[in-house]
């Protein structure tokens, strides 16, 4: 039994015709007929019979066809994996929220270069929602997303994921802000405070709005931006407030962090498409991301 014989047999069964199978596979009809005869002779079984010039699969033939389907599927998967390996993918496209990239990427870069892996990263800085869209469109290989649940919500069930971090959002102001001495604050107290939120495709902005809605309030949003440095500068120089995950601002001496009474807990995930074929580089990246510092 040869793989080519199985492929010919499957094509004939699907098309119910040797002629159509030959056209699909771009081979001659005699080549397929010879292959089928050899297969039947090898096992001394009759897989096909003709009735009124029509090809009909026998009971034995149907059993054989059903048995080889998973084999052929696995062969196709193997072929695709070998194609990926032959291309030796050196460049990875990674989606990551700007807020997360500032503390996460330096550690990942260190791991990549310390392990001497020949890997080039193309970084796409977008919010979590936009990152999911890019992954769906096959424009990125992997994405870092912030989400509130574990396991992920319904919209993320089509992805495989690695949970990296459990954290929370903190309310942040500059040292000159009139709330700078507060240790904890209620969302209701922020209803008139000018706020800066992440921009397009941000889970953080969506979650902040939802949190205000739960207490019957609408946040006083004055600016949307994904520029982390700009937000930090505005905090230091003005009377605005913003929200950051605590890992980003915990070592910044110029920014005051205030716990929220209504805690907004979030998780950080690395995600990729479920059941997708992963190159060696993607697998290495996932492993390195999973490793502790």
Asked if 284 and 143 sit in the same domain, the reply is: yes
Last residue of a domain, one of 46, 67, 87: 87
Asked if 233 and 195 sit in the same domain, the reply is: yes
Which of these, 158, 152, 267, lies nearest to 204 by C-alpha position? 267
Number of domain units in the chain: 3
Across the range 230-246, mean pLDDT stands at 88
Asked if 154 and 219 sit in the same domain, the reply is: no
pTM: 0.62
Q: Specify the pLDDT at position 88.
A: 55
Comparing 6-20, 54-68, 85-99, 185-199, the range with the smallest average pLDDT is 85-99
Is pLDDT above 60 for 225? Answer: yes
Is pLDDT above 90 for 260? Answer: yes
Read off the pLDDT of residues 138-161 as tens digits, 9 standing for 90 and up.
889 899 988 865 445 555 567 888
Query: What confidence category does residue 237 fall into, taking pLDDT thresholds of 50, 70 and 90?
Result: confident
Query: Which residues partner with 256 through β-bridges?
Result: 173
* Cβ contact 78:3 at 8 Å: no
Read off the pLDDT of residues 182-218 as tens digits, 9 standing for 90 and up.
999 999 999 899 999 987 667 888 888 889 998 899 9
Read off the pLDDT of residues 171-180 as tens digits, 9 standing for 90 and up.
999 998 999 9
Across the range 78-87, mean pLDDT stands at 65
Q: Specify the pLDDT at position 193.
A: 93
Reported in sequence order, the residue ranges of 71-209 that DSSP labels E, i.e. its strands, are 91-96, 120-125, 142-147, 159-174, 184-185, 195-197
CATH number assigned to the domain comprising residue 14? 1.10.10.10
| Selection from 83-87, 192-196, 224-228 with the highest mean pLDDT | 192-196
Across the range 121-127, mean pLDDT stands at 85
Across the range 9-14, mean pLDDT stands at 92
Contacts of 175 (CB under 8 A, 6+ apart): 236, 254, 255, 256
Beta-strand relationship, 184-185 and 48-51: unpaired
Asked if 129 and 274 sit in the same domain, the reply is: yes
Q: Specify the pLDDT at position 89.
A: 54
Which residue has better confidence, 198 or 9? Answer: 9
Is pLDDT above 80 for 279? Answer: no
Query: What confidence category does residue 291 fall into, taking pLDDT thresholds of 50, 70 and 90?
Result: low
Give the Cβ contact number of residue 196 at 10 Å.
Answer: 22
Which of these, 198, 222, 218, 200, lies nearest to 209 by C-alpha position? 218
Asked if 74 and 114 sit in the same domain, the reply is: no
Asked if 175 and 161 sit in the same domain, the reply is: no
Contacts 24+ apart (CB under 8 A), 149-154: 149/267, 150/267, 152/269, 152/271
CATH number assigned to the domain comprising residue 277? 3.40.190.10
Give, in degrees to the nearest 5, the angle at Cα 64 between 59 and 67. 130
Q: Compute CA distances 284 → 116, 272, 289, 290, whole Å.
A: 12, 13, 9, 10
Query: What confidence category does residue 290 fall into, taking pLDDT thresholds of 50, 70 and 90?
Result: confident
Is pLDDT above 70 for 42? Answer: yes
Last residue of a domain, one of 87, 114, 148: 87
- Answer positive or negative: Cα dihedral of 11, 13, 18, 20: negative
DSSP tally for the chain: helices H, then strands E: 10, 12
Asked if 206 and 161 sit in the same domain, the reply is: no
Asked if 197 and 150 sit in the same domain, the reply is: no
Q: How far apart are CA 27 and CA 23, in angstroms?
A: 7
Q: Specify the pLDDT at position 107.
A: 75
* Cβ contact 172:258 at 8 Å: yes
Asked if 131 and 19 sit in the same domain, the reply is: no
Contacts of 104 (CB under 8 A, 6+ apart): 96, 144, 164, 268
Domain that holds residue 212: 167-266
Q: Specify the pLDDT at position 200.
A: 62
* Average pLDDT, rounded, for the chain: 84
Q: Specify the pLDDT at position 87.
A: 54
Query: Which residues partner with 51 through β-bridges?
Result: 54
Q: Compute CA distances 233 → 153, 205, 222, 239, 262, whole Å.
A: 34, 19, 15, 11, 26
* Cβ contact 192:178 at 8 Å: no
Is pLDDT above 50 for 122? Answer: yes
Asked if 274 and 161 sit in the same domain, the reply is: yes
CATH number assigned to the domain comprising residue 216? 3.40.190.290
The phi, psi pair for 83, rounded to 5°, reads -65, -45
Asked if 78 and 12 sit in the same domain, the reply is: yes
Q: How far apart are CA 154 and CA 121, in angstroms?
A: 29
Asked if 42 and 112 sit in the same domain, the reply is: no
Comparing 84-98, 191-205, 278-292, the range with the smallest average pLDDT is 84-98
């Amino acid at each position: 039994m040869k793989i080519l014989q199985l492929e010919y047999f499957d094509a004939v069964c699907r098309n119910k015709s040797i002629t159509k199978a030959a056209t699909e596979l771009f081979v001659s009809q005699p080549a397929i007929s010879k292959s089928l005869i050899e297969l039947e002779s090898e096992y001394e079984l009759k897989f096909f019979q003709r009735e009124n010039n029509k090809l009909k699969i026998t009971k034995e033939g149907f059993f054989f066809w059903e048995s080889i389907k998973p084999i052929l599927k696995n062969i196709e998967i193997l072929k695709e994996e070998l194609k990926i390996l032959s291309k030796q993918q050196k460049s990875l496209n990674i989606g990551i929220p700007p807020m997360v990239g500032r503390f996460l990427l330096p550690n990942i870069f260190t791991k990549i270069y310390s392990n001497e892996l020949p890997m080039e990263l193309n970084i796409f800085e977008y919010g979590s929602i936009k990152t999911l869209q890019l992954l769906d469109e096959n424009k990125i290989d992997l994405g870092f997303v912030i989400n509130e649940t574990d396991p992920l919500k319904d919209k993320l069930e089509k992805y495989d994921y690695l949970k990296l971090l459990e954290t929370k959002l903190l309310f942040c102001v500059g040292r000159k802000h009139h709330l700078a001495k507060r240790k904890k604050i209620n969302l209701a107290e922020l209803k008139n405070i000018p706020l800066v939120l992440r921009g397009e495709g941000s889970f953080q902005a969506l979650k902040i709005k939802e949190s205000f809605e739960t207490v019957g309030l609408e946040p006083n949003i004055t600016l949307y931006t994904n520029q982390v440095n700009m937000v930090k500068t505005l905090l230091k120089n003005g009377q605005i407030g913003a929200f950051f995950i605590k890992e980003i601002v915990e070592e910044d001496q110029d920014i005051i962090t205030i716990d929220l009474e209504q805690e907004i807990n979030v998780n950080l995930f690395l995600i990729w498409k479920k059941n997708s074929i992963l190159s060696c580089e993607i697998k290495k990246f996932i492993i390195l991301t999973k490793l502790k510092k």
